[in-house]
């Protein structure tokens, strides 16, 4: 990608982010704990990274607004509609990953 100018690279990266977010919105069956256990990040991480980027550039963005940008709805609504109780195995995997620093 070294032949691509910085603006085009940014536009491509933004398109990838939008596609990832759109994909995650359709995969409501995939719980955040599953994402954390398998990939080390989840929808909340994406929304936190979005807020961090806004903060770094001086753009006003609340935590609620960044979550809504990722979830496509208020976080509380997504949780009520789609979040399930984590199983003992999911919780154990999460605890192991956290202990290992992942």
Kindly tell me if the per-residue pLDDT of 87 is higher than 70: yes
Would you say residue 79 lies in a domain? yes
Provide the domain limits for residue 14: 6-95
Would you say residue 100 lies in a domain? no
Q: What's residue 61's pLDDT?
A: 98
Of all residues in the chain, the percent with pLDDT exceeding 90 is: 90
Would you say residue 102 lies in a domain? no
Interval 13-47: pLDDT, tens: 999 999 999 999 999 999 999 999 999 999 999 99
Q: Domain containing 67 — which CATH number? A: 1.10.3340.10
Tokens of 30: 């995939």
| Contact of 18 with 72, CB cutoff 8 Å | no
98 closest CA partner among 53, 42, 24: 42
Kindly tell me if the per-residue pLDDT of 1 is higher than 90: no
Would you say residue 68 lies in a domain? yes
Would you say residue 1 lies in a domain? no
Kindly tell me if the per-residue pLDDT of 2 is higher than 90: no
* H-only helix segments in the chain: 6-26, 32-39, 43-56, 63-71, 75-82, 88-99
Would you say residue 34 lies in a domain? yes
Q: How many domains does the chain have?
A: 1
């Amino acid at each position: 990608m070294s032949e691509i100018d910085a603006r085009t690279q940014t536009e491509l990266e933004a398109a990838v982010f939008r596609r990832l977010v759109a994909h995650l919105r359709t995969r409501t069956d995939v719980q955040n704990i599953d994402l954390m256990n398998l990939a080390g990040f989840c929808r909340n991480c994406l929304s936190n990274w979005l807020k961090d980027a806004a903060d770094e550039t001086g753009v006003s963005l609340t935590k609620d607004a960044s979550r809504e940008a990722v979830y496509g709805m208020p976080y509380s609504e997504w949780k009520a509609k789609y979040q399930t109780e984590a199983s003992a195995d999911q919780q154990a995997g999460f605890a192991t990953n956290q202990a290992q620093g992942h």
